[in-house]
Structure 1
């Protein structure tokens, strides 16, 4: 039930939600690159991340502290966003847009400053992002699928007994998938945090 092959197989059952999750994330990146209206908000987000990074970098054991912060921050948020789909998928929706906008705005700032976008992407994002970004998109996909299930359940309240029985079976299957996905999301983000706190940190230092 918790095997990685089961996790991969389960992803096919939420492929529409995964596609929507990907589209929202990419739309967020485009909006962050081109938007002027949210510039102050995005600057505050990057400033907050910069301050945390400076504090961790100045600690006695920066690699370990970076690892703990990155892993706990990403894994807790990802699992919470999966289960927050219970609220009709609203939180995963905005989580994708905002995180995409922050990345898009960061790329825009780096390009405007004359620094190398290639270095940022290849050294700063790609080593860990090749795992981290798809996993976060998957977590949000589960959150969106959860929201869709809630909406279908609300619509089935006045349906016949056969329809309600089908929704009940769908809920039981989804809880199992959510448990399997939560485990692998955390494990994959653990691997991404190890890479980010070692290889990425070394490449960007």
Structure 2
């Protein structure tokens, strides 16, 4: 009896840890964590694939458009140039996805500038790859803008003007980048784009000489404002028309600057050109905003969700707020174009003559 009691006491004082083999809560927690990590990795892989596809498609579109405009046969670029552009684009995209975006941009920019003195065509390959990656980057910034409607920080700032600028800044930056890139391309590759640009330049020049194009404030404003409105409403066609008009205007200006004396061109363009071109850039940015609003509206269509009506109503409200920003942009663009038209009609020619004569005509002794 005492021996049995002693054995019971011995087992009761056993301090070894007790293992619960059927702890379902711990197993489920570990399983959920592993599943979350797996889902996160899958999402990252999917985003990387989408990034590669987007940059490659945009690079092909840019180069194909330029080749079509310069009357180069598609079969001539299919065997070597398009694969090379895809390779350069994918290499740059890979470096950016690995976190070396600034260094990669700088290297491609330096190579582009250096290659121009040896082979301008290869420079265009690097510029195309660089342009496609920057465009995709700013599209991503537009879609993930934390200050836009429907996001957490959309109502943090009390300044109405600042909130408006924070919502619209990436659209304007993207539009400005595209304009500057094709302005530079139009200047340095003027000979290639002459078939596209020359008829428009000659038509404008002949219209001014014949009097069909009047250098008056109202007529200039109507002409420029109609172009701006076409760019804004081009957002309804997923910004294809907006982007085309922006690129075409950039190529015309770049070609005109190359075809004439550069200082002469600047003298007769600078007084009104800065305001007018900035308004055109804003118009394309507003077109991008319209396209984004359409995608927001489409994304609100949820067929399988139980509360799909509430989700759709919420997306409609966000879409209407985004379009209200476009209306504000139209007012700003109209004001800028009125100022630019007045300067072009009344001040540009005397200011341009004075500036040009001051620099180029010999001074009396």
TM-score by structure 2 length? 0.48
1:80-133 CA-partner distances (Å, limit 9, x unpaired): 3212211111111111111000000011111xxxx3x22321x21211122111
Aligned to 2:332: 184
> Are the equivalent residues in 1 in contact too, given 2:283–2:333 (CA < 8 A)?
yes
- What secondary structure sits across from 1:176 in the alignment? helix
> Which runs of structure 2 are paired with 1:52-91 in the superposition (5 Å)?
52-56=207-211, 65-91=215-241
Long gaps (5+) in structure 2: 1-158, 354-365
1:40 corresponds to which residue?
195
Q: Which residue of 1 aligns with 2:292?
A: 148
Q: Which residue of 2 aligns with 1:95?
A: 245
Note closer, same or farther for the CA distance 1:55–1:168 as it changes in structure 2 (3 Å cut).
Answer: same
How many angstroms does 1:6 deviate by?
6.0
Q: Which runs of 5+ in 1 are unaligned?
A: none
Query: What secondary structure is seen at the aligned counterpart in 2 of 1:14?
Result: helix
Distance, in Å, in 2 between the alignment partners of 1:201 and 1:8 is 37
Question: For the Cα contact (< 8 Å) 1:84–1:143, is it kept in 2?
Answer: yes
Distance (Å, rounded) in 2 between the aligned partners of 1:146 and 1:196: 30
Match in the other structure for 1:198: 346
Confirm or deny that 1:170 pairs with 2:318: yes
* Bigger relative CO (Cα 8 Å, ≥ 6 apart): 1
Query: 2:288 is paired with a residue of what secondary structure?
Result: helix
- Whose helix proportion is higher, 1 or 2? 1
Report the Cα distance in structure 2 between the residues aligned to 1:142 and 1:87, rounded to whole angstroms: 13
For the structure 1 residues 7 and 91, does the alpha-carbon distance in structure 2 shift closer, same or farther, using more than 3 Å as the test? farther
Establish whether residue 50 from structure 1 lines up as the match of residue 50 from structure 2.
no
User: How far has the Cα of 1:204 moved from its partner?
Assistant: 4.1
Q: Secondary structure at the match of 2:269?
A: helix
CA distance in 2, matches of 1:39, 1:84: 25
Aligned to 1:53, the other structure's residue is in SS state helix
Q: TM-score, normalised by structure 1?
A: 0.82
Give the number of the structure whose alpha-carbon radius of gyration is greater. 2
- Between the aligned partners of 1:18 and 1:138, the Cα distance in structure 2 is 6
**Take 2:229 and 2:197, find their aligned partners in 1: how far apart are those partners?**
24
